[in-house]
Structure 1
Amino acid sequence: MGHPNLTDSVESNSTDCPSIDDFRNQVYSTSYSLITVLGLVGNGFALVVLIRTYRQGSPFHVYMLNLAVSDLLCVMTLPLRVHYYVAKGRWDHGDFLCRISSYALYVNLYCSIYFMAVMSVTRFLAIVYPVQNLRLVTENRARLVCVAVWVFICLSSSPFLMSGQHFDSVTNKTKCFEPPRRQGVRKLVMLNYLSLVIGFVMPFLVILVCYAGIVRTLLSRTSAARRQRGTGTRAIRMIVIVLLTFLISFMPYHVQRTIHLNFLSRGDTTCSEKIAMQKSVVVTLCLAAANSCFDPLLYFFSGEGFRSRLSSLRQSMKNSTLRRIGRVKPATGSESGENHQLKAT
C-alpha cells in the first residue's frame, strides 16, 4: 500500500528554482508540534477512559480503542520530525528511528481509514439490520477484525521501512524523510495507484454505501421509531465527522500525491509549477497527519456511550476518593479523642 517516502520532504528538480526549505521547515515544525500536543492530549485522554471502562465493552468500543492506540503511536514519533525540521534538515537519531518514524505515520494514516470503514459498517448493521446485528457483530469478532487490519496495514506499508537515512554530500548533512530520486518515479506511480485503490478508494466507497443505507433507513422510520433517537443521532454525528476527516485530511493528500507523481514524470514543467507543487506537498501531508486530531471528536460525539463512560469514570473516581476520606476520618476522630483525654488529665 505504501511506497518509499514521497511527500515528507521535497527537493527541487532544477538548480534554477529557488529552494522552499525555509517554508518547508517552518510549516512542518509548527504543524507537527501542534498535532503532537492535540493528538497526545485528545487520544491519551480517550484511551484512559476506554481502558478504565473496558468492562462496558462493545464492538464499537474495540474499534475506538484500536484507533486511539494507532493515533498515539503515530504522534509519539512526530517530535522526531519536529527536531529534524527545526535543525533545517539534519537527522541525528540513527537509521532505525528514521525508518520507524516514516513507517508510523503511514501505518496510522491507513489504519485510521480502515478502522473508520469497519466502524461505519458496524453502525450500518446496527441501524439497518438490528436483528442480524446481534448475531453477526460481537466483541470477539471485532477483535479479529482489528488484528486483520493491523496485520494487513503493517505488511502493506512495509515499503516505508526500506527507505532510511542517507548522507547528502551537497549539504554535508545526514537526511531523513526525503523523496526518491527521479529515476524511481515510474515504479512509484504504479505503487501509488495500487495504494490509492486499496488504501483509500475502496474503504471510502464502503463508507459512502454504509452512510447511504443509514440515512435511507433513518428517513424511512416511523414516528414512533424516530422518538428513539439515540442510535440515529450518534450515526449522524459519525457521518459528519468521518466525512469531514476524509475531505480535510485523507482526500487532499491522496489526490495531491497522485498529481505530484505524474508531475515528476513530466519533463516540461516550469519553475513556478515546481514551487507550487512542492508547497502543496507540504500542506497536504500536514493535513494527512492531522487526522489524529479528528479522531477524539469521533469518540466523544459518536462513540457508543463514550460520554456515559466518562461520567461513570468520574463517578467511580469520586466514590473512590470518598471511600479514602471515610477511612481517614475515624483515625482523625480517635486522635482528637485522645488529645481531649490528655487535656483532661
Structure 2
Amino acid sequence: MDSFTTEVPFLPSNQSSEACTPQENTVENMIFGSYYILVFLLALNGNSLALWIFSRQRGTSSPANVFLLHLAVADLSYVIILPLRATYHLTGGHWPFGEVPCRVAGFLFYVNMYASLYFLACVAGDRYLAVVYAVRSLKIRRARYAHIVSFSLWVLVTVSMAPLLVTKQTAEVDGSTVCLQLYREKASRRALVSLAVAFTPAFLATLSCYLLIIHSLWKGSRLEPALKIRALRTIGLVMFIYVVCFLPYHVSRATFILGYGQPHLSCLTQRGLALANRLTSSLTCLNGALDPLVYLFGAEKFRGSVQRLLCRDKAAGSGATSGDMKGTHESSISAKSEF
C-alpha cells in the first residue's frame, strides 16, 4: 500500500529526469479513456445487479454470499470514479477536477484493490473449509462471523488508506494539472515494503487454499460432484483475477520502484517502466468487471436469481406474441429455477 509512506510522489526533479518524464500520446489516451468507459459500464451493471440480488435474498445467507456482497460494495465504490480517470485521458493527461476529487480517486483506488484482494481471499478460505472440512466447519462458517471479518477488513483497509485523504495529491507539470495517484505514485523503498505487506498475505492465502482444495479433491473428497466442480470453478476464477488484475500491477510497481531513477537506466527504459505502470494499473480496474463471474459461479442463490430473471424475460417476450404458450413457459421457468 503506497499510501503508508509519506515521501513526495514521483515528479521530475532535474533536467535529466524531466527529459524522461512519462509521455502519453493521443492514441494511448484514447485507448485508455475508451477502456475505462467500457469497464465502467460492465462493472456498474454487473455489480449493481449483484448488490440488488444479494440485498433481496431471504433466509440464512452463506459466508461466501456475505463476502461477495462486500466485494460488490467495494467494486461499486471504485466504479463511480472510473469516469474521472477516463476524462483524465480524454483531455490529454490533464486533471480538471481539482485537489479533493484527486484525493478521493486515489483513496478509492487503493481501498477497492486491497478490499477486493482480501474479500477474494476470504471466498477462497470459505471454499477451502466447505470442501476439506465440510462438517467440522459448520460451526464457524456462519454469516454473522463473515460479517465480523468483513467489517474488520473494511476498517483495516480504510484506516491504512486514510493518509491519501489528507495529503496533497495534485501538482503542475508542463503547464497541466496532474493527479499524482494516476500513474505517478511514490517510488520509494518504503513504498516497496508496504506493497509487499499489502499484497503477499492475501495472494499466498488464496493460492494455498486453491492447492489444498485440489489436493483434497485428488485424494477423493466425499463432497458431491456438483459441489466439487463449483468449488474448483470459484477458486480457479479467483486465481485468474489475481493473476490478470493484481499480480501484474504489483510486479510492475516493484520493478518500477527498484528501477526508476537509477542513473544507469536509459530514458527509453524509464519510459518503458512508466508505460508498464500505466498498463498494469488499468488492469486492476478490470476486476470490477470480472467479479460478477465469481458471484455467478460461487453463489448458488445469485446464480438462481439470474436464471429466474432471464427466464422471466424470455417468458414475458414469448407471452406477448403467444398467449397460448403461457402455461408452457411457466413450467419452463419453474424447472430452470430449480436447476
Does TM, scored on the shorter chain, surpass 0.5?
Answer: yes
**2:154 maps to which residue?**
150
User: Which of 260, 268, 272 lines up with 1:272 in the alignment?
Assistant: 268
Letter in 1 for 2:154: W
**2:245 maps to which residue?**
249
How far does residue 178 in structure 1 lie from its aligned partner after superposition?
5.2
- Once the two structures are superposed, residues 271-307 of structure 1 have per-residue CA deviations (whole angstroms, 9 ceiling, x without a partner) of 2111211111111111111111110111112223321
How far does residue 40 in structure 1 lie from its aligned partner after superposition?
0.6
Residue 40 and residue 54 in structure 1: after superposition, are their counterparts in 2 closer, same or farther (change >3 A)? farther
How far does residue 27 in structure 1 lie from its aligned partner after superposition?
3.7
1:1-345 map, 5 Å: 1-3=1-3, 14-17=17-20, 20-22=23-25, 24-55=28-59, 57-168=61-172, 170-171=174-175, 173-177=176-180, 185=187, 188-197=188-197, 199-221=198-220, 225=222, 228-311=224-307
Q: Residue 32 of structure 1 contacts residue 82 of structure 1 at CA under 8 Å; is this kept in 2?
A: yes
3-state SS of the aligned residue for 2:300? coil
The gaps in structure 2 that reach 5 residues or longer are 320-339
Q: Residue 49 of structure 1 contacts residue 313 of structure 1 at CA under 8 Å; is this kept in 2?
A: no
How far does residue 115 in structure 1 lie from its aligned partner after superposition?
0.3
Q: Residue 111 of structure 2 contacts residue 157 of structure 2 at CA under 8 Å; is this kept in 1?
A: yes
**2:324 maps to which residue?**
none
- Once the two structures are superposed, residues 115-142 of structure 1 have per-residue CA deviations (whole angstroms, 9 ceiling, x without a partner) of 0111111111111111221111111101
3-state SS of the aligned residue for 1:243? helix
Q: Which has the larger radius of gyration?
A: 1
Residue 9 and residue 302 in structure 1: after superposition, are their counterparts in 2 closer, same or farther (change >3 A)? farther
How far does residue 166 in structure 1 lie from its aligned partner after superposition?
3.2
How far does residue 165 in structure 1 lie from its aligned partner after superposition?
4.4
- Tell me how far apart the structure 2 counterparts of residues 111 and 39 of structure 1 sit (CA, whole Å): 16
TM-score (ref. length: structure 1): 0.81
- Tell me how far apart the structure 2 counterparts of residues 80 and 170 of structure 1 sit (CA, whole Å): 21
**1:333 maps to which residue?**
none
Q: Percent identity?
A: 30
- Tell me how far apart the structure 1 counterparts of residues 147 and 255 of structure 2 sit (CA, whole Å): 37
The gaps in structure 1 that reach 5 residues or longer are 323-345
Q: Residue 98 of structure 2 contacts residue 170 of structure 2 at CA under 8 Å; is this kept in 1?
A: no
- Once the two structures are superposed, residues 221-255 of structure 1 have per-residue CA deviations (whole angstroms, 9 ceiling, x without a partner) of 26xx46x2222111110122111111111111000
TM-score (ref. length: structure 2): 0.82
Q: Residue 89 of structure 1 contacts residue 175 of structure 1 at CA under 8 Å; is this kept in 2?
A: yes
Residue 144 and residue 113 in structure 1: after superposition, are their counterparts in 2 closer, same or farther (change >3 A)? same
Deviates most, 67-76 or 23-32: 23-32
Q: Residue 9 of structure 1 contacts residue 282 of structure 1 at CA under 8 Å; is this kept in 2?
A: no
Count of paired positions: 312
3-state SS of the aligned residue for 1:21? coil
Q: Which has the higher contact order (CA 8 A, sep 6+)?
A: 1
- Tell me how far apart the structure 2 counterparts of residues 204 and 210 of structure 1 sit (CA, whole Å): 10
